[in-house]
Structure formats: C-alpha cells, structure tokens
Structure 1
Amino acid sequence: MASATRTIAESAGVPQTRGAYHRLLEEISSGRIEPGSRITETELAERLQMSRTPVREALRRLEAEGLVTHKPRVGVIVRQLGYPELMELYEMRWVLEGTAARLAARAASEVELEELAAINDEMAASAGDGAALYALNRQFHTTLIAAARNRYLVKSVRAIELTLQILGPSTLREMSRATEAIAEHARVVEALRARDGAGAEAAMRAHMESAQRTRLRQLRRHGRLMESEEGPEP
C-alpha cells in the first residue's frame, strides 16, 4: 500500500517537474536568467509556487543536458559558453543543417516545400515582431530537418539547439538580421524546389555562417563572450 501511494505521488510530481524544466529553459533562452547566474532551489520554488522537489529534478535534467553546472561553494549556475565551444557548436550546425538541406532536396514532398515557402513568407510579413520571427524561424528549420527523413540527424540537431539556448535571445530581434535570414531562407527553398542537393547544402551553410557572425557580434557587444571555458564534462 505504501509503495502504491509513493508511486501515485511520484506520478503526480511529473507535470510539476516538466513545468519547472520548461519554465527554466524559457527564462534561460530569453535571457532573463543570464549565463553565470546562480540558481537557488528555494528562490525558484517560491517564484514558481511549487515545492523544491520538482525544481531540484528540473535542475538535474538541465545539468545532464549541459545547460547548468554545479560549482563547489557556489551552487547551481547557468553555464557560460566560451569562444572555442561556441565555434564548435556552430561548426556542427553547418554540418548537420547543411546535410539536412541536401537530404531534403531529395526526400521532401511538394507539400513540405510549399510549407517552407509559406513559413518564410509569414516571416517576411512579421517584420519587427521578434517573438513571432523567432517562433517562425524555429518552425522553418524544424520543418526542413524533418523533411530530410533521418531521425538520427533530427536528434543531433536538437542537442545542438538545446545547448545554444544558453546564448539568450534570438539574433532575429535585430531587424537587419531578420531581413538577411528571410532572403537566405528563400535561397534554400529555391534550391530545394530545383532538387539541387549541393545548392541547398551550400545555401544552408551560408545561412548558418551568417547567423554565427551576427551572434558573435551580439555577444561581444554585450560583453558576454568568454575567450575560454572549462566546457562540459566528457
């Protein structure tokens, strides 16, 4: 009986843990909790109006995923990405998303190609709305990666994107970058429609390189780019 009661209680805590996890992830990705910031279970539990147990479990998940780390005599802090790791992450984005575009040129359905074009058109119509542009950009990349028809590639891209949440708000909040990204997406879609795998891959790699340059400028401008870091545990 005691075992059954414990199982029910544990099951009831799962939604709270999931909620705490997504709330923390959103605050990190939006920049409300900055890299290097200390996170305390007590303060967070009070702010989220829940017990410390789901908060603790959410922090453990974020630590396992490499977004936060535990420092002796300090506690849990949001990880800071240094220049070397940032470059490595973007290099992987070039490889993975460039490969996704090449595969999608062969495997994407006409419906998926039309959806990609429609999402990009909606981005163009959402100029100035940073939140909408961010959501639509995620949708564009998610749709393209799914069209590659490779589940292992999808998992790898998600892992990279998760770590990049540490960097804070999207570069698409800058109007000039949003305009560039829309034009870059259009070139990717054009190559996909032509079933030009090499062209689609080159266009996507150019898109990733442009995003990287903007991100580096943004981090330097706000003094948030470390020259080195300890990095995640191997």
Structure 2
Amino acid sequence: MRDARQNNKDAYSLILDAIDIGVYKPGDRLVESELAERFGVSRTPVREALQRMETQSLLTRDGRSLIVASLNHNQLTELYVVRAELEGLAARLAARHASEEEIKVLREMIEEDRALLDNPTAMSRANRRFHKQVHLASHNDFLVQQLDLVHRSMALMATTSLAAEGRGPRALEEHQAIIDAIAARDGDAAYQALKSHISTAYEARLRLDAAEYAKQI
C-alpha cells in the first residue's frame, strides 16, 4: 500500500498529466469524486492535489467548482517570453556543464523521436522529455525549479504547437542545432538556438490559435 505522501504525489501528477494530454481542457470542471474513481486513488490525495493546483493558478474557481484555468493572449505571450529566456540560459549552462553522457542521451532522444513524427501527442511528451534533459544538463537546481513552474503552466494550452503542419520535423532539426551547440561547448550558440526554437514554437502556437478562432466566427 502506498503511503499518503506517495499517494498525494501520484494524484497531482496524474491530474496534471491528464490536463497536459487534453483529457481535461481549459474550462473543464474537475470533480473530486470523479477524479478519485478515474485514477484509483482515495479522495483525500485528490483534494490535496486540487488545492495545490489552485494555488499554482492551474485551476480557478467558478462558483464552488474548480475548473482548468486558461491563458489569455497576453498571458501566453508573457509565458513564452519567460520560457525563452530561462530555457536559453539552461542551454548556455548546459554547454558549460553537461557531461558527455548527458550529451549522448540528448542525441539519442532525437533519433528515437523521429519515429513519433506522425503522433503529435507522443511528440509533445517526447519534446517535454528533451527539454527537461537540457534543463538538468544545466546543473543548476534553482533554474530547473523555475522551469518546472513554467512547464506546468504550458499544460494549460489546449493543443500542442507540434500539431501544426510540418512542425514536428522542424522541431527535431531545431533540437539538433541545440545539441550541436551544447556539444561544441558554445554557450552563446546554444542560448540562441534554444531561444530561436521557442520563438518558432510560439509562432506555430499563434497560428493554431488563430485557426481555432476562425472556426468559431
């Protein structure tokens, strides 16, 4: 039997993952009893997980109900600005501190991800895995913690930018450029490559949002 701490951790991660992959979208109501049944955990860790997510602004109140929060256009822009700077810094530090083993793992990830190009959801998960590995390769715990917060907020986007036509192959090319710069120990190039990658992802996101809006008018 799992202890309460592990149970709570599982509930939080499971709910966050469900939001991340679109099981629950911005505006959807989260019901404690339904979540407990879906994930096979007791209501107490679910309640604690929901409270934690509310304090992190991942959930918001609608009367007495908790719903998945959404990002308006300005918040989306602000999030990408912060993400670009922090991820760029992570790449710069990775160029300085990453071990050869870490660089090898990053290269292997790109090769593995080529098999996922026809699956945007799987690509999105692989993309998060890649970025997390770059964060860890910075060997700066405080930066990793801040980037974790940023990436939690990314879960509030209803779709992945990797769903945009042609985005998957291009994203892998950009990942390759990031790794090449890290492997060359060129911090400036790594910083610019990752910032450019985030900028291109933001453009893809804006196009997806514009297309979605066009369907509603």
Instruction: Please give the TM-score of this superposition, normalised by the length of structure 2.
Output: 0.88
CA shift, 1:60, in A, is 0.4
* Counterpart position of 1:106: 96
Query: One-letter code of the match for 1:126?
Result: L
- The structure with the largest alpha-carbon Rg is 1
Q: SS state of the match for residue 70, structure 1?
A: strand
* Counterpart position of 1:202: 192
CA shift, 1:94, in A, is 0.8
Point out where structure 2 has 5 or more consecutive residues left out of the alignment. none
* Counterpart position of 1:40: 31
CA distance in 2, matches of 1:130, 1:180: 13
- Relative distance call for 1:36 and 1:196 in structure 2 (3 A) is same
- Relative distance call for 1:111 and 1:33 in structure 2 (3 A) is same
Spell out, residue by residue over 1:145-195, the C-alpha distance to the aligned partner (whole angstroms, 9 max, x if none).
111111111111100001111113432244511111001111111212222
Point out where structure 1 has 5 or more consecutive residues left out of the alignment. 1-10, 225-234
- Relative distance call for 1:214 and 1:109 in structure 2 (3 A) is same
Tell whether the 8 Å contact from 2:12 to 2:46 is kept in structure 1 after alignment: yes
Please identify runs of 4+ aligned residues in structure 1 that moved more than 6 A.
Answer: none
Q: SS state of the match for residue 184, structure 1?
A: helix
Find the partner of 1:27 among 18, 37, 46: 18
CA distance in 1, matches of 2:116, 2:140: 31
Q: SS state of the match for residue 166, structure 1?
A: coil
Q: SS state of the match for residue 26, structure 2?
A: coil
CA distance in 2, matches of 1:31, 1:135: 12
Q: Does 1:211 align with 2:184?
A: no
* Counterpart position of 1:165: 155
- Relative distance call for 1:107 and 1:36 in structure 2 (3 A) is same
* Counterpart position of 2:170: 180
Query: One-letter code of the match for 1:18?
Result: K
Find the partner of 2:43 among 28, 35, 52: 52
Tell whether the 8 Å contact from 2:95 to 2:182 is kept in structure 1 after alignment: yes
Q: SS state of the match for residue 69, structure 1?
A: strand
CA distance in 2, matches of 1:33, 1:39: 8
CA shift, 1:62, in A, is 0.9
Query: One-letter code of the match for 1:64?
Result: T
CA distance in 1, matches of 2:129, 2:40: 31
Query: One-letter code of the match for 1:205?
Result: K
* Counterpart position of 2:180: 190
CA distance in 1, matches of 2:102, 2:38: 42
CA distance in 2, matches of 1:131, 1:122: 15
CA distance in 1, matches of 2:36, 2:101: 45
- Relative distance call for 1:68 and 1:184 in structure 2 (3 A) is same
Instruction: Please give the TM-score of this superposition, normalised by the length of structure 1.
Output: 0.82
Q: Does 1:64 align with 2:38?
A: no
- Relative distance call for 1:44 and 1:194 in structure 2 (3 A) is closer
Tell whether the 8 Å contact from 1:128 to 1:175 is kept in structure 2 after alignment: no
Query: One-letter code of the match for 1:188?
Result: I
Tell whether the 8 Å contact from 1:37 to 1:78 is kept in structure 2 after alignment: yes
More deviation in 187-196 or 153-162?
A: 187-196
- Percent identity over the alignment is 37
CA shift, 1:77, in A, is 1.1
